[in-house]
Each structure stands twice: as structure tokens, then as C-alpha cells.
Amino acid sequence: MQPFVESLSKCPKHGLHNPFKSPERYLLYGDISAKAAHMLALPKVSDFFTRLIQRVSPKSYQQAFGEVYVTQKFLENFSGDQVRFLARSFAVPGNHIGQQSHGYRWPYGPVAIITPFNFPLEIPVLQLMGALYMGNKPVLKVDSKVSIVMEQMMRLLHYCGLPAEDVDFINSDGKTMNKLLMEANPRMTLFTGSSRIAEKLAVDLKGRVKLEDAGFDWKILGPDVEEVDYVAWVCDQDAYACSGQKCSAQSILFMHENWSTSSLISKIKDLAERRKLADLTVGPVLTVTTEAMLEHKKKLLQISGSKLLFGGEPLENHSIPAIYGAIKPTAIYIPLEEILKPANYELVTKEIFGPFQIITDYKKDQLPMVLDALERMHAHLTAAVVSNDPIFLQDVIGKTVNGTTYAGLRARTTGAPQNHWFGPAGDPRGAGIGTPEAIKLVWSCHREIIYDFGPVPRGWEIPPST
Amino acid sequence: MQPFVESLSKCPKHGLHNPFKSPERYLLYGDISAKAAHMLALPKVSDFFTRLIQRVSPKSYQQAFGEVYVTQKFLENFSGDQVRFLARSFAVPGNHIGQQSHGYRWPYGPVAIITPFNFPLEIPVLQLMGALYMGNKPVLKVDSKVSIVMEQMMRLLHYCGLPAEDVDFINSDGKTMNKLLMEANPRMTLFTGSSRIAEKLAVDLKGRVKLEDAGFDWKILGPDVEEVDYVAWVCDQDAYACSGQKCSAQSILFMHENWSTSSLISKIKDLAERRKLADLTVGPVLTVTTEAMLEHKKKLLQISGSKLLFGGEPLENHSIPAIYGAIKPTAIYIPLEEILKPANYELVTKEIFGPFQIITDYKKDQLPMVLDALERMHAHLTAAVVSNDPIFLQDVIGKTVNGTTYAGLRARTTGAPQNHWFGPAGDPRGAGIGTPEAIKLVWSCHREIIYDFGPVPRGWEIPPST
Amino acid sequence: MQPFVESLSKCPKHGLHNPFKSPERYLLYGDISAKAAHMLALPKVSDFFTRLIQRVSPKSYQQAFGEVYVTQKFLENFSGDQVRFLARSFAVPGNHIGQQSHGYRWPYGPVAIITPFNFPLEIPVLQLMGALYMGNKPVLKVDSKVSIVMEQMMRLLHYCGLPAEDVDFINSDGKTMNKLLMEANPRMTLFTGSSRIAEKLAVDLKGRVKLEDAGFDWKILGPDVEEVDYVAWVCDQDAYACSGQKCSAQSILFMHENWSTSSLISKIKDLAERRKLADLTVGPVLTVTTEAMLEHKKKLLQISGSKLLFGGEPLENHSIPAIYGAIKPTAIYIPLEEILKPANYELVTKEIFGPFQIITDYKKDQLPMVLDALERMHAHLTAAVVSNDPIFLQDVIGKTVNGTTYAGLRARTTGAPQNHWFGPAGDPRGAGIGTPEAIKLVWSCHREIIYDFGPVPRGWEIPPST
Amino acid sequence: MQPFVESLSKCPKHGLHNPFKSPERYLLYGDISAKAAHMLALPKVSDFFTRLIQRVSPKSYQQAFGEVYVTQKFLENFSGDQVRFLARSFAVPGNHIGQQSHGYRWPYGPVAIITPFNFPLEIPVLQLMGALYMGNKPVLKVDSKVSIVMEQMMRLLHYCGLPAEDVDFINSDGKTMNKLLMEANPRMTLFTGSSRIAEKLAVDLKGRVKLEDAGFDWKILGPDVEEVDYVAWVCDQDAYACSGQKCSAQSILFMHENWSTSSLISKIKDLAERRKLADLTVGPVLTVTTEAMLEHKKKLLQISGSKLLFGGEPLENHSIPAIYGAIKPTAIYIPLEEILKPANYELVTKEIFGPFQIITDYKKDQLPMVLDALERMHAHLTAAVVSNDPIFLQDVIGKTVNGTTYAGLRARTTGAPQNHWFGPAGDPRGAGIGTPEAIKLVWSCHREIIYDFGPVPRGWEIPPST
């Protein structure tokens, strides 16, 4: 561990570059990005990474390819001069001749990045490059189960020109990493992962963190019923793609009563039942055992009026080790009134990081109850309001806080690309990923430089003390 | 305390207003600001507040008036539509027809503000109004010794249209406030004050804070010696105005050897000796006793090569209670080499929140040693680089991180107005105050709304699961 | 005329101020704006200007007061530091140490402003102040029929601190003004008025103009029929307030067939017939005679299928001189198919600057015909799409170009305030008014300053010629 | 010509895409840009274009390669999502629930681009792609002498995915193009070329133009003499690279008297005399004959106190046709006082588009005379202030208007890259090239969409007419 501590300590607080230091490095990173994007666009390379992701993180080829594609597009976005454009500052005239105030984006210097198992390429690359673009020196730790993906990607980045000494890549367990953080004392730590660890790190690091943690993500179907097939398909993907192991996965669905008479639920059921282990459209759950999920199901079904809509059984004919989970895509109906009861609320809104969702419905005049359920949640990551009624949309949007919220008939909760912000809202520690705004927020801070050159006014005399 | 907890709890996370909820409140706050600015511009009112500040926070009339003036200008800045302009969002075309992604500024809802004794009007008004502008409901605690100023200002704001239920104003000790925070669990807490409390709050509130704490603020005089009178006067004001009780006060001065042969030090001494208790150009120190400051002086003077330049004695003929401090404006010279020694560094760079500064000098080739001294400091608030040499400036600026850094012959460390950012840099928890950027950073978070109305493409069919 | 030419010529191209010259003037204009806004907020002053407007420009008290109110709010928006914030620049790191590129907003220096009769206060104040804020020296000409309003306002501005030499206020006919422009050769001329003069000026001044001219403004009612009373009222106001003498007045209404069976038209008729000369809710038309309007009506009624919906008669019992127009609020129905015929199109879409509108309807599948009619128009100022159907809205918005387009059930064509952009789109000469963006576009240009201080790299040697 | 007229007329005013129409085309152009950038980065391709440029536009390999390189970097800048980021809009909360105002960037639809001989690749590609990015349909005309370069580039762009129908590429003389413009009536025309044609087009097209024309570009050497070798080399490149056939070429040099005693002039002379036809570091002048240049020299030398510093003779041993010019790099000294005389001013400041510059000097107190000379010029394209004295810099910058102004010891007038704005200032018709800001200014206009969905307030009743 000591070499990592020393390496990080060597980086000054003003970073490896900033607008007044080594600006040519902004260009270097524009070049690296263009080259790496081009590499990832080669079918041979993208296929290699897609399959590598699949070997360690259970998801379909298409879902794994999605990571590679988003990563490639992200790198394209920061080709050429676009890295230096991230360091764009602004200035305002001062009070007298010779004075101007400038607001710059400044790096933190030594920083740390900790990323989870479920997106072994996309999350670490996007956060790592963001940190580097702004002038930081990161130590990067990816969940050891999947870190081979990033290990290979580091080699690709080195090939594309990344200086070896710019990034420290560590392969360790969480405990060692925690110790490293305590000793190396990075100026900022980006953590993506569970809420439990996130809260612990926030205390350990005295708040010098940006976090992207859990999400008990909700979807509301509004009063206007349209395109049932499409909405059902999106629900299936949102709840069950990657076996529900996305922090953006749909955890609860609120249906307006108008949808109850549609074929929506039966269609979602049909789609869920298409999923199979063979192509990993459903597969192992890495952080919850089969037993734990079935136990959770059992508890939920003890709630009055609840029922199993589909799933709720273990997967069959597989060799998934017992330390992982393996269940069929599952949906459980709970009446809205029951969800809101204090005795049930915590249970119902417990995030199961697997192919598991709650479904409920609400009457026309019950929207306030739905909004109350949302307000009481703890994590506010993604959400969807499926409706083309602008009045309904503004009512729900104006009374909620989820960070990435899709609105409209084609709304989804998952599949956030690199072109818009992804991250929680409502928390000053909340991180963002992907966009120029996210990079600037997470990986740089404001520094104000006020030039005051003069001249001192002719005939100036020393005024009285104040 | 309970009413405060309940009142805060009533505010939802989406705030009192946001771009989709009660937008007319943005206009209300534009009106309140215009009216309050006009009131503060009335000589009778500004004189009232200036004298009220003087009664509780020891500073000269001019310095106290400065607070009123900055507050007035700040309020002018957010007249008319300028509050809603703070909520300006942006949008980007999506992937297909009907899709657009929007980035909004969202409030946190229930929030807390804790402000110190030294700026009883400016800091609480600027942070309070910023919080309100963005749609938050704040509970405000001002240091009890000086809270009468803000108590009067609240009445003025109510008179100008502030709804009584928008702000909870609490008068309590720190312990009670801490308990309130633990129970009410505000989504964000802005703290301005000592580093010790700041670090404690960061842990207690698990990082849901923005902080503006200490500053061992430095000034460097570059190789170009010019306008010695002017620079001496600025040094005197930076180090000793408000008896050094500004978080931006000059704590250490690094002189290029070219200045050593000038009359600078003797001029600073003359200016310091003009200061007198009668007009509060020097006065009581509220957080350090006379004894403690003299003891600190004594320790510093034990360092090899150190010497007392001026001051270093108690004020005389006064009735300042012994729990406060009362010393003459003081400067102590310490050789640069000694400052850097591990045995001395912590002692020399200890912030004394009173009329007390360290002065040192450096040779042409010793700039790296100066930069090393700066890098090792803990708090990075204000700084000044007094030089009109652009190469020298960029060298120092590029290798430091202080948040508000003045550069040029007229550079100062204190006196930040409302028109540029004021706050520390290099810390993700760092707060800013005053400008639109500061308000947006401290009092709102990013929320992404992605509209995806469709239509679903004609002939769309359900694709395979992924 | 000569003094005006000389005064203008004295102003250099770099203006009265810019970020590198007399920046204190930005603050001066922040002060002037705050003071003038406060004056206009005094009931005595606002009533004076409202009545003064009414004396020269025929409109109701409420409509005249609207001008005063918008002007006041505009001035509030540029109080305090907000004028200097308009001069905000940006910077980007360069290729090597010492290099940074900055984009500034630069004034034009000597400029001219020509404004029309229908908004004697709002248009000249907003454009004049915008020009001044950015550092220009304007000569201002307001239509002589109404220039007394601005003459009084100039006195108020002088009282609030406007330096007398900053603005030249000329009272002349158009011919003289044209000659002045030819001789003084302002760097930029803002013209608001008729298309005929606008086109002539564009040629005379070789394109150094920004124009806000005619508008044959349209409103489309979408398929969703709701709030008929409200929509009827908005139609009445849009078409007939100020006797239709707003460049944003509704000139043509396209109704989806779903509205035809509603009471909309009869309600619009009732509302139109409430209007009376006594309170100037209908009144003199300053640029079209009664005869000309009746003649136009007659020609329109010769189109096959056309019919008079209401109005179409002269006002009675009045003393309006014959050089002005005086007719009842008028609406004429023309079938959509007829409008599109080449023989009719120019006639139907001729702008009548009076209380006169065309009404037509379209069937569900005729939206492309409506869009075709819009595409063929010449001026693209305001528009309204009255619908809450997002798919319909995006279809119309995506296929049109009007500069200020209202969308949604509450959409209107008139009544643009100071808080959003007002101006035509689709023309590089198009001006905007009111917002920070409009001011920056119309009254300043981009200037790039690239700092390149060095140092020259150690050991640099002269390379070969290229 | 007719097919071009028809093709242009088919494009509606709302363009081929905009944020509400075919947004997938923004992504298409991100892809085209990434691919074309990658192609131009291939040594084989870049060498091909470099040599092709050299065949038609006389410049050295390095200068021609510079065009290819800048073009490649520009294309990298708009890879991935960066084209849609150009269409970024903003929004502001409205007055009541349901209202929000949005400012969009809208295309002009059918547009024209006319570019000159001296940058056969860089100027047309950058302007063409900018036009396309924003949704316009351009007809492009490149000077026929050099249009083969762009003809080849069009093929490369088609290969990279550019739809054939998106651009009309015309090869014609100016007269035909003028006729085409008159008939097709593009909504916007970008012209880069001579002032004479620019002014004519401005009238013909009634101001619907953006222009980048002449530049009698100046360089001022400030009082601080340093790095004489470096400054001499930059002067040589600025004045004589591409045989002075850049619109940014240094036309006049103002030396502070402190430089007169340096070896600067003799060094510039030595460097100028290194240039040779063999490698095209000096070569044919395409728009001025040898005779005309020698005649100009002769006239200048008749001015009192003037002298030939070097050059002033025809090139020898060449086969350059007599319709072109061929002279040695030339510098003529004229005393400042003589330049300012009305009888001389027009002559001295006449732009010679060849390897020809004026050199003068000024005394410490003559800076106002220099500034007067600058103010009287007609075109304000590039400029350089060679000094590291911030007070001197702000004095010159604050009193001038050139659009692209380099400041600092390393200041130059030529060699503007893609990462900062290039274009004239001080003229509302002025175009910019290269940066996101330039693209948005030249190729799009502001369109304001104000959503006003409601709901209409409960209990709303029709108010009185106004």
C-alpha cells in the first residue's frame, strides 16, 4: 500500500495541470481521448471488451456492448480541444481600471475513485477520465471481481498516450482501500456503490466525497394510456435487464387506474418470461442470495392485499454458486395504502439489487399518496413519469427530486447514455457522471482570481485607517 | 427546539419552489430584494445598521458600513427577474424526435445556515437570501453575541414582503443548534466559522455541508517594487482592519528581497501605529485572549532569527473584559528557512484571529520554498500576489489553490465584495458566497429531466430482451 | 443636424467603456438603472407616464401602464452589478504556458436607435439602455408623434445620474434621420418599425443594422379543445388590444376543426364587441386609414367561401381625423384552400396594422397545408400554438421559425415581457429586445484577446521559415 | 444554375434539422466529424491534401499542412455529442405554474458560403460544417482557382457519411454566383474575401450576410524589449509566410523607441532574406501584380522620411506568369507623423495582399498617435501587442477593436487555430470561424419558445378588455 500513498502524496493540491500550469496537458488528453475512442470503435476491440465484461459481470452481450459504446462516445466527446474547453473560465469587469475578476475551474490534486462491479468499464473510465481531464491525479480501485476489465482498458489508454505516472491503479479489498484513503488523504474521493459504504466513507473522509449510491427507482404511469406494448417492453428492460443490477433499475411501478384494465401487466409478465440464462438476459445476482430474495418475497406477500404477479422462484438448471442469487424475474403487487403504512414502508422500499420489482396502482385522486411515498424514500437517483400530459408531468416533476428523471410516453429509468447527466439529486454530496457539467462539478472546484494591476490613480494619497 | 424541528420537517425535499412549482415565488423574491436594497440605500437605515453592527462586532464605522453596502448591492443584484434567472436551466437535443434532456437547478428543501460573529449582517443575509432564492426553507442561526443585527434585518425583510413562514430564525448556543441539526436532519447545512466546528459538523452531518472556515491567508510581494505607499496601506488594512478578525485577513507576508531595501516595513509600522481604540480601528478580539496572543508571540520569538517588528503589547487604557483579547497591531519576522522546519511550521502557520501577522522574505531563487510553505497549509481561503509581472503571477497562481486570490500591484486579501466569488478552494465541501455561481453551487443541485414524448416510430415492434 | 454628426463622430469605435476602459461606468449604469426603476415604481411617476403614453399612442390605461411596468422591471434587472455581468467574458487555456484565449463582448461605439410610435416608452428605453450598458454612444430618434414620452423619460434618466453627453436625443422626420445616418455613419443601427423602411435602411447602411419589423403573426389552435373562454379572451386581446397596433398582434388564426363546433368564434365576437372608444380599448389606427381597411375587407370578401365574421364597419361618433383609421374590431373568415392559392396568398397575408384579423380552419390531415402557409410568409415575429399535446406542439414548432413562439393552452402572441427574448427569427439581421441575451447580441460583438506572455521555452532557437 | 436554385429552394426556413426536427442528424454529424477527423489524421491522407493545397495555393509544405491540421482538430472538436451540444438551449421559469421560456438556436435553412483562394481547405470546411451542424442546407462556392481541394474533400466527407443532398457544391465565377444568390435568395450568406465584394454583397443581399474581409493588421511592440530573436522570427512569419497572403498578415509594425536600438530590424531582414521560391517560403502573389506592388513601393518612398528597409525588388529566375505578382519580402519605413497626415494615410494603410509591410516607430509619449492611426483604419481583423506590461496592454486593448488580438511577448497576428475565435470585430456583419461561439453566431439565430401549459387558475373569469 505504501507506494500508493507515496505516489498520491507527491501530487500537489494544484494538480498535474490547471489553466496556469502545463496547459499542453489538456491537449494531450484530447489526443488520448480521440485515439481511445477510435480504438473502441474498432469491432475487434469493442467485441473484446464486450466479452470481457460478460465474463465477470453477468449481463447480455447487448448490455455489455452498451457499456463499450457509451464509453466510446464519451471519449469522442472529449476529443481535440474539448478537454481544454472543460477548463473554460469566465471574467467580469472590476471596479476600476486594471481590475477584472476571473472564475476558474481548479483541480483537487490527489484524488481517489472507487467503482462497483456492475459497470466494470463505463463507470471507471468516465470518472477516471473526468478526473484526469480537470488536472487531478487519481488512484483508481475497481471492484476486484471485475477489475480485469479496467486493467485491460488501462493498457489501451497507455497505448493511446496516457502517461503511466498519471494514474495509480490498485487491486485490493475494501478494507485495504479504506486504509489507503485514511493514510493518503486524497482531496476528493468519488465513490459509486452501496449506500452503506457511501455513508461510512462520508464520515471517514469528513465529507470530502462525491457519492452515487443506491436507488429505489420508481416509475409512474400517468392517466393517458397509449402504446401499451412499448411501455411494457420498457418496463421489462428497466426492471430486469442485467438481472436488475443497475442502480437505475425500476424498483417500483405506480400505475394509474386507467392502465389496470389494459394488458400491460400480462405483457410485462410475458416479456419477463422470455428471459433466459443461456444469453444472460437473466443471470446471477452478485450481492443478494437466492434465499434472501425469496425471504424478502415471503415477507412482502404477508402484507394485506399483496400478491405475486410472476416470478418469485429460483432459477433452475444452473451452476451458479450459492453465494450468488438466482431467481426468475419477479414482480409483487402491493396495494398503495399498504405501502404507505409505517409498518410496511421500509420493507416495501428496500432495494433488492436483483430482478425484483414492486407494482402498485393508484386512483385518479390518489396522486398525493404516490408523491408522499416518493418523498419518504432515502435515495433519489432515477425515475420515470410515463405520460404525455404536460399538466400531469409538471405536477409530478415539481414535487419530486430524483436526479435523472425521464418524462413522457417513452420514459424509462435505465439506459442513461453519456450525453446527459446521470446522478442523484437532493444531496450536496451527490456525484454526476458523463457530461461536461458532471465532470466540472465532481472533479474541479471554483477558484477566483482577481487581477488588479492598477495603475494606482494619479495623486492617490494614503486614506485614514478603517 | 421542537417547533424548529417540526417547521423544518414540513418542507418537502423539492423545496418551497422550483421551476415546476410556484414559479411566482421567484418573482416574489425579486421584489423583496429590490425593496430591501432600496431600504438599505436610505441613509437613515444604513446608518442604523452600521451602528448596530458596531455595537456588537468591534470594527470601525467604515468597516461596518462596508457590510451594509455589500448587502445592499447584493440585494440589488437579485432585483426583478434576476432570481428566476438563477434557476436558468439548459437543454440538449435527444437521440430521436420527441427527446430532449434538460439540466435544472433544484433546491434541497429544508436547510440550515450557521454564521459567525464577525460579519453579523453580510454573511447571514447573503447566504439566507441565496438559500431562499433557490427554493429552500432555511433555519438560520447567527452567533448569539451579534444576532440582534440579523433579528432587526429579519424585520426589515418581513416589511419588504418576506413571508414569515419562509425562514426560521433561531437564537441558541452551538450545542442546542447541533442537537437541532441532528433531529431535523436538514438536507444541506451551510457553516461559516472555525475549522474545528466545521470538521465536527462535516462528520455529524455525514458530509451534507458546505463550509467556509479558517484562512491562514498569505500575501506575496513579487520582484517588481512599485507604489510602496499603496502596498503598505493595503498591507495595513489587510492585516489589521477589524482587528484582524476577518477570515480573509493577511496572516503572513512573503516579501521578495527587492522590497527589503524599500521603506515598506517602516511604513506598515507607521500605519499600524495610527490605529486606535477610540474609533475601533483597533479593538477587542472576541475569540483569543490577550494572554494567549502574547504567549503565541513569545513562542514565535524563540525561533532562531525571528524578531518583533512592531506591536506585541497589550492595548492600554481600556475597559475590554479579560475574556476578550486586546493587543496592539503586531508583526513578527521569521526567516523563511525557519518557517519551513517541521518543528516550527505548525506554530508559525497557526491562525490567530486578531491583529497579528508573520512577515518573512525570500531571495530570487527561493520562490519554490515559498510555494512549499503554501502547499503545506490546511486552509486555502484568500491570497494576494502583489506583482505586475505576468510570468511571476502565472508561476505563483499555477502552483497554489487559494479560493479567492488577488493578483497585481493592487492585490489585497480582504474586502471581497458581492460581485465576485468569495470562498475556499481545493475542498469539495467548500462554500462560496455572493455571486450567482456561489448561490447556485451552495443552494441547489443539478436535476436532469429528459423528455421523451415520442411518437414511438411507426411500425415499431418489440425487440428481443437484453 | 451637424451637432449630432459631430457628437457621434467623437465616440471612438471602442466605445465609452469596455472591460479594459472605464469599467466604473458599468457600475454607474447599475446605479442609474436601480434608481430609475425605483422612480418608475412610484405610483405618481408611473401614472404620469401611463397617461402621457395614452395622450400620444391610442391604447387603454392598462395597456399603457404595461409599458411602464415592463420598463421598470427591465431596469430592476440591470441594477447593481448586473450591467457588468452583461460584459462577462470567457477564457480557455492555450497551447503552452502563458497562453490563454479570452472572448469579450465589445461595444460598437457610435450607434443609432430608431423606434416607432406604438410603444413610445418601452422600446426606446430598453434598446437605449442596452446600447449604453454595453458601452455604446447612441443617437436616439423616436417617432415624432410620440417622442414627448421619451423626452420626459430622458429627464428622469438624467435625474437618476445618466451623463448628459452619453446620449444624443434627436427629434426629426425620417428623411433627416436618414441623412444623419448617412453622414454620421454609426457602426450599428437598431431599427424597429415597418418592413419597408427596414429594407431600405439595410441597403443604405450596407447591412450594419439590426431590425425588428413587421409580423403577420399567426396562432394555431390544436386538436385538444379546452378552456374555450380563456382561449377566446386571449384571442381578443391578441388581435385587438391597442387596436391591433402591436407588431405581435394576432393577424391570422388557424383553428383545428375540433374547435369549429365550440362556441369560440361567437365568444371572440362578443369580446370584440365589448371594446369601446371611451376607454381606448379600441381607437384610432395611426398608419392605415378607415378607407384602406374597408377596401382591404372588400377585396378579401371577394375570395370564394370567405365571410365577414364580425366588425368590418367604421367606428361611429368620434372625432378621429380622417388621416387615421377607425374601424370596429374585424374578423374575416377565408377557407384554407383559398389562402394558399397564389392569387390570394399575398392579399390574405398582407399585414393590416389595425384591429383586423383573418380566421380560418383546418382538418385533421390539413396541418401540412397550414405549415405551408406559414413557410411562405415573409416576416417571422410572434406565433402561438394553442395545445397541450406535446406531439402536436413539436410538430408545429419543429417546422416553423417565428422568433417568439408561445406554446400550450395559454399561448398568446402579444404581451411579451422583459424576462424573455422578443424578436424575429430566421434573419441574420434580426434584433432582439429585453433580455441579457438580446442586449449582448444587438449591442456588442465578440472580441478575442489571446494572451501569450511566455516565457519562450528555454533553449528556443529560430526554426526554418515556412 | 437552375438546379442549384431549385435545390436550395427546397430547404425550408426551419432547416434540415433543429431541436424539434430530426435531432438524430446532430448525431449523424458527430459521427461524420469523428470519421473525417480520423481520416485527416492518417499521414497518407494529410500528405495528399497538403500537397494538393500546395498545387493551387502557393505556400510552403508546413503552411499547407497547417490547414489540414487545423481542419482535423476542428473535426475532432465536433465528434460524438458535441454537435448536439452546439444546439444547447436554456430556459427560465415563467410567471405562473406551467410557464417556462426557452431560448433555442435555430437554423436559417437555405444558406450560401463563398470562400477565397488562400485557404482552400480550412475556411470552406470549417464554415461548411458549422452551417451543417446547426441544421442549414448550404450551397458552397470556393474560388475556382483552388476549388479542386474542396472537391476532393467533399468526396472524403461523403465517404464518411455526409448525405449527398445536404450540400450543393458549385464551381462557377463570381458573376454566376451573384446571380444564383439573387435568384435563390438564401436566408444567410457567409462571405470570406475582399472588402470590395463584401460591401457589394451586403447591399445585394440587403444585409443578410456575415463577412470576414480585409485586414490591415497591425502589431505594436511595447516598451519592454525582450527576446529579440523570438519577436523577429514572429514578425517574419506574420508578414511573409504564404507570401503575405493571409487576411491576418502583419501589414504594419509600430515599434516603441526602445526597440530601435535593438537588432530587431536587421534580424527581420535576415529572416526575410532566407525565404526562397524553391520551397515556397516566398512565391506568387495571386491578386496583385509585381508591377502594382513596385508602384506602391515607389509611391510610399516619396513620403518624407520614408526608406526601403529591405526587399522592394522582383523575384528572379522564375516562371510565374505576369498576371501574378512576384516580389521579395519587402519592408518600408515611414515616420509616424507622416502616416497620420491625411494626404498619406490612405496610401500607407492600403492593404497589399502580398509580402509587403510598413514599419514605423513611436516615442514613449506618442502612443496616442499610434492609437489614432488604428482608430482610423477600416477593417479590424487581427492585431498584436507585443509586451508583458499589463498596464501597457490594457491601455492598447481598451482603445482598439480588432477582433482577434494577441497580447504578450509571444503575440503574433497570424496562425489562428481552431480553438479560439477568428474574425473581425466592430461590425454587426462580422463573421467568426472555428469555435462553438463562432458557429452559433454565424449559422444560427435565437428562437424563443415560451411554454404556457396552464392550468388556467381555478375560478378564472374573463377580465375587462384592455
Tell me what percent of the residues of chain D surpass a pLDDT of 90. 99
C88 CB within 8 Å of a chain A CB: yes
Q: What is the pLDDT of residues C208-224, one digit of tens each?
A: 999 998 889 999 999 99
* First-residue to last-residue Cα distance in chain C: 54
Told to judge if C11 belongs to the known catalytic residues of this protein, a careful annotator would answer no
User: Quick one: pLDDT band at residue D215, thresholds 50, 70, 90?
Assistant: confident
Smallest CA–CA distance, residue D95 to chain A, in Å, is 15
Helix/strand/coil (H/E/C) assignment for every residue in chain B: CHHHHHHHHHCCCCCCCECCECCHHHHHHHHHHHHHHHHHHCHHHHHHHHHHHHHHCCCCHHHHHHHHHHHHHHHHHCCCCHHHHHCCEEEEECCCCCEEEEEEEECCCEEEEEECCCCCCHHHHHHHHHHHHCCCEEEEEECCCCHHHHHHHHHHHHHCCCCHHHCEEECCCHHHHHHHHHHHCCCEEEEECCHHHHHHHHHHCCCCEEEECCCCEEEEECCCCCCHHHHHHHHHHHHHHHHHCCCCCEEEEEEEHHHHCCCHHHHHHHHHHHCCHHHCCCCCECCCCHHHHHHHHHHHHCCCCCEEEECCCECCCCCCCCCCECECCEEEECCHHHHHCHHHHHHHCCCCCCCEEEEEEECHHHHHHHHHHHHCCCCCCEEEEECCCHHHHHHHHHCCCCCEEEECCCCCCCCCCCCCCECCCCCCCECCECCHHHHHHHHCEEEEEEEECCCCCCCCCCCCCC
Interface test mutation site (partner A, options B231, B401, B440, B444, max chain A beta carbons within 10 A): B401
Which of A209, A229, A421 is facing B462, going by the closest CB pair?
A229
Q: How far is CA A29 from the centre of its chain?
A: 23
The stretch D310-338 carries a mean pLDDT of 97
Q: Over 90: is that where the pLDDT of C353 sits?
A: yes
Q: Residue D391: list chain A partners with CB under 8 A.
A: 98, 453-455
Smallest CA–CA distance, residue D110 to chain B, in Å, is 21
pLDDT value at position B249?
97
Higher pLDDT, B1 or C129: C129
Which of A37, A81, A97 is facing D73, going by the closest CB pair?
A81
pLDDT value at position B215?
81
**How far is it, in rounded angstroms, from Cα C17 to Cα C84?**
11
CB contacts < 8 A, C to D, total 290
D450 CB within 8 Å of a chain A CB: no
Are B110 and B137 in contact, with CB atoms under 8 Å apart? yes
Q: What is the pLDDT of residues D149-171, one digit of tens each?
A: 999 999 999 999 999 999 999 99
pLDDT value at position B214?
80
Are A184 and A7 in contact, with CB atoms under 8 Å apart? no
- Across chain B, mean pLDDT equals 97
**How far is it, in rounded angstroms, from Cα D310 to Cα D240?**
13
Q: Over 90: is that where the pLDDT of C313 sits?
A: yes
Buried b (16+ CB within 10 A) or exposed e, C74-87: bbbbbbbbbbbbbb
Give the other-Cβ count within 10 Å of C374's Cβ: 24
Task: Given the residues A76, A122, A212, A351, select the one marked as catalytic.
Answer: A212
pLDDT by 10s per residue, chain A, length 466? 999 999 999 999 999 999 999 999 999 999 999 999 999 999 999 999 999 999 999 999 999 999 999 999 999 999 999 999 999 999 999 999 999 999 999 999 999 999 999 999 999 999 999 999 999 999 999 999 999 999 999 999 999 999 999 999 999 999 999 999 999 999 999 999 999 999 999 999 999 999 998 889 999 999 999 999 999 999 999 999 999 999 999 999 999 999 999 999 999 999 999 999 999 999 999 999 999 999 999 999 999 999 999 999 999 999 999 999 999 999 999 999 999 999 999 999 999 999 999 999 999 999 999 999 999 999 899 999 999 999 999 999 999 999 999 999 999 999 999 999 999 999 999 999 999 999 999 999 999 999 999 999 999 999 999 9
Instruction: Provide the annotated active-site residues of B.
Output: 212, 247
Interface of A with B in 92-111 (CB under 8 A): 92, 95, 98-99, 101, 103, 106, 108-109
Smallest CA–CA distance, residue C5 to chain B, in Å, is 36
- Torsion angle, CA of B288/B289/B291/B295, rounded to 10 degrees? 0
Which of A73, A84, A98 is facing D419, going by the closest CB pair?
A84
Identify the three-state secondary structure at position A457.
Answer: coil
Q: Which chains touch A (3 or more CB pairs under 8 A)?
A: B, C, D
**Cβ–Cβ below 8 Å for A37 and D79:** yes
User: Quick one: pLDDT band at residue C243, thresholds 50, 70, 90?
Assistant: very high
**How far is it, in rounded angstroms, from Cα B46 to Cα B39?**
8
**Cβ–Cβ below 8 Å for D428 and C207:** yes
**CA dist D162 → A80, A228, D113 (Å):** 21, 37, 17
Told to judge if D247 belongs to the known catalytic residues of this protein, a careful annotator would answer yes
**Domains of chain C, earliest start first:** 2-213+429-450 (3.40.605.10), 217-407 (3.40.309.10)
Q: Residue C273: list chain D partners with CB under 8 A.
A: none
Which of B22, B91, B94 is facing D89, going by the closest CB pair?
B91
**One-letter identity of residue D92:** V
Are A313 and A356 in contact, with CB atoms under 8 Å apart? no
The strand pairing partners of D18, in sequence order, are: D21
In B, minimum Cα distance to C35 occurs at B38
Interface test mutation site (partner B, options D16, D24, D106, max chain B beta carbons within 10 A): D24
Task: List CB contacts of A177: < 8 A, sequence separation 6 or more.
Answer: A114, A141, A170
Identify the three-state secondary structure at position C301.
Answer: helix
CA proximity to D361, closest of D351, D370, D372 = D370
Which of C73, C394, C418 is facing B98, going by the closest CB pair?
C394
In B, minimum Cα distance to D90 occurs at B90
pLDDT value at position A346?
97
A403 CB within 8 Å of a chain B CB: yes
Q: Over 90: is that where the pLDDT of B364 sits?
A: yes
Q: Residue B97: list chain D partners with CB under 8 A.
A: 20-24
Q: How far is CA C13 from the centre of its chain?
A: 26
- Across chain D, mean pLDDT equals 97
pLDDT value at position D186?
98
Task: List CB contacts of B352: < 8 A, sequence separation 6 or more.
Answer: B244, B251, B288, B293, B296
Q: What is the pLDDT of residues C155-203, one digit of tens each?
A: 999 999 999 999 999 999 999 999 999 999 999 999 999 999 999 999 9
